[in-house]
A = this chain, B = another copy of it.
């Protein structure tokens, strides 16, 4: 079933670039088949098909697009066993996690189907004509969100399903009415191809233009760079490293016509523990923290990588609990050999830094070979971190850095010295949370999501979720890549002045045929536009 080929025009396409394979990170074994990198011509063809597909797909009624999204969801469920097996081989992630991730991926498609079927997301606004207004009459003015054009999506290494070929970026871009070109992550090509085939089958089954979806493989970074530079591409969705995201942002900004970029580039996710909470439930926090920073072998964008504890005996007790948990833990396989090597480099640098103490480390992997990492616990002082914020740099893996703060003043200074984050968490008693409004206010400027008495891992796909935050967490703090608001990244408002009813999009027609919420002359309503009242004959 796996062809080792890109998918263009709904068909497998043998590339002419260098070849690569998936690699089982647990063993280092190559996984068949070999994948050929897409050529420049392949990319041109995929882009021009997407461009051709746009006028048709963007005008496909929302009800049909919703049907398509549900078809994809069903198609993924139908191949779940195969996808989970292959993803396990390629990523080293356990079956239960991958089953959960597949369910989430499927759910995302169904959630966006619901959003576009309900239809009110388009922000339809109608300002009725005022022909009698003085000094000048007002024309009839209406606006609604319309899709941007073909979107480039980059699969992430750490979520081979939920942030990859049919991940949240793809689901939201398709939901908004945009064709999608996915650049597969080379760490899980087989998973990508299986999922890409399923999406392609749904495109065909739903009678959509073949250019609505394409999947491109590349051993390196050339296809991705060319994709972001391609004039047909109108926006970019990316989850990955800061270096990779930043490089693509530069390409997008240097285009003759710059395009919006939505890069999610990770975060250290600071977690603050206040003294009374520590006293009341230190052991519980130790457990929650350990589970959170080791979840998925610490390869989560939302892993809490900085834990701020006060000084004193209660903190010592929490640290002792954490040490025990870390020391009892064994090594687990990481996603790829490259991630494992980066992790090891980060660990060596941190271990050799005299300002940081390594408090505990889990048992190393017993066997030889494979990309394994054991949990680790580090500690430094607030003073050290304030003196050199670079101490806090993200290590992608199952470790965290405890930062001991002296007092509230130092706590505030530490909060204010943070760079942009996806999340920031605070553990405190009700009285402490109430008393620390200043801390929460400072963190609000730093992060997209603030969490009280919880842990940042586990990102809910819901209407209020924000998985975003100030740079360098993401390229655009005004966007989210998780939750229903993610659809807004891939749409732009278009205004229609003095239009005939027949020429208006359905969302803006007087009678409100889609029954959506609209703003009419400043009022939210699901009503139709009232028929004009005839002027009384005088």
Contact A138 B494 (CB under 8 A): no
Residues facing B in A108-142 (CB within 8 A) are 118, 120, 125-127, 135-136, 138-139, 141-142
Cβ-closest chain B residue relative to A100: B135
Shortest Cβ gap from A229 to chain B (Å): 14
Contact A466 B499 (CB under 8 A): no
Contact B495 A466 (CB under 8 A): yes
Additional pairs, 10, CB under 8 Å, beyond known A257-B472, A260-B476: A127-B460, A127-B463, A127-B465, A138-B460, A258-B475, A448-B492, A463-B521, A478-B492, A517-B524, A524-B524
Copies of this protein, total: 2
Contact B494 A478 (CB under 8 A): no
**Residues on the B chain within 8 Å of A454, using CB:** 139, 497-498
**Residues on the B chain within 8 Å of A462, using CB:** 127, 138, 141
Shortest Cβ gap from A99 to chain B (Å): 10
Shortest Cβ gap from A306 to chain B (Å): 18
- Across the interface, A464 reaches (CB within 8 A) one of B125, B449, B480, namely B125
CA distance A464 to B126 in the complex (A): 6
Q: Contacts A477-B148, A494-B448 hold; do A519 and B463 have CB atoms under 8 A apart?
A: yes
Contact B496 A478 (CB under 8 A): no
Q: Contacts A126-B464, A253-B249, A503-B440 hold; do A480 and B458 have CB atoms under 8 A apart?
A: no
- Across the interface, A458 reaches (CB within 8 A) one of B118, B136, B441, namely B136
Query: 16 A-B contacts, Cβ less than 8 Å apart?
Result: A127-B464, A136-B458, A138-B460, A146-B444, A149-B445, A249-B253, A257-B419, A258-B471, A258-B475, A448-B492, A449-B494, A450-B495, A465-B495, A466-B495, A468-B492, A480-B493
Contact B494 A125 (CB under 8 A): no
Interface residue? A433 (CB, 8 A):
yes
- Across the interface, A468 reaches (CB within 8 A) one of B100, B493, B524, namely B493
**Residues on the B chain within 8 Å of A519, using CB:** 463-464
Contact A503 B253 (CB under 8 A): no
Cβ-closest chain B residue relative to A257: B471
